[in-house]
Amino acid sequence: MAATLAALRGLRTAPHLEAADRRALRSELETHLLACHWFTVGVMAPAALEAVAALRQLEAALGWDALELDPAGEALAAIEGPVFLKANQRTGRFLVRRELGLGSGLLITGHNPADSTCEDTWGPLPLDFFGL
């Protein structure tokens, strides 16, 4: 696989990436992220705690403020099986819901109301992409 964000587009599950591919993708991604004002993140994971761990790694690696679990959502401990986590920097919150039939990986969507040409969704990236 070529180590480009375009090569990831449309994949159901994030591929295994070698260290050199991770570095190349991280560099390409950071260029795109700089053009955006805020982000939404989707995490497809086998379990709620894995999804939250991936979100926390991303927040720490990119220097983002930690988002809060939306109190309107279900308690993490009550969610069994595969999940989809939806995080929104604009609201400062995230929700996790049980969802079957998903792949596994991180999706990041950049938003820039002043310049929609730089808005896009990147991924899926491996759940541990920002943890290594």
- Per-position pLDDT tens, the chain of length 132: 567 999 999 899 999 999 999 999 999 999 999 999 999 999 999 999 999 999 999 999 999 999 999 999 989 999 999 999 999 999 999 999 999 989 999 999 999 999 999 999 999 999 999 986
Length of the chain: 132
Residues contacting residue 49 through CB under 8 Å, at least 6 positions apart: 76
Q: Determine contact, residues 55/88, Cβ cutoff 8 Å.
A: no
CATH topology of domain 16-125: Dihydrodipicolinate Reductase; domain 2 (3.30.360)
The structure's pTM equals 0.93
Closest CA to 33 of 12, 68, 63: 63
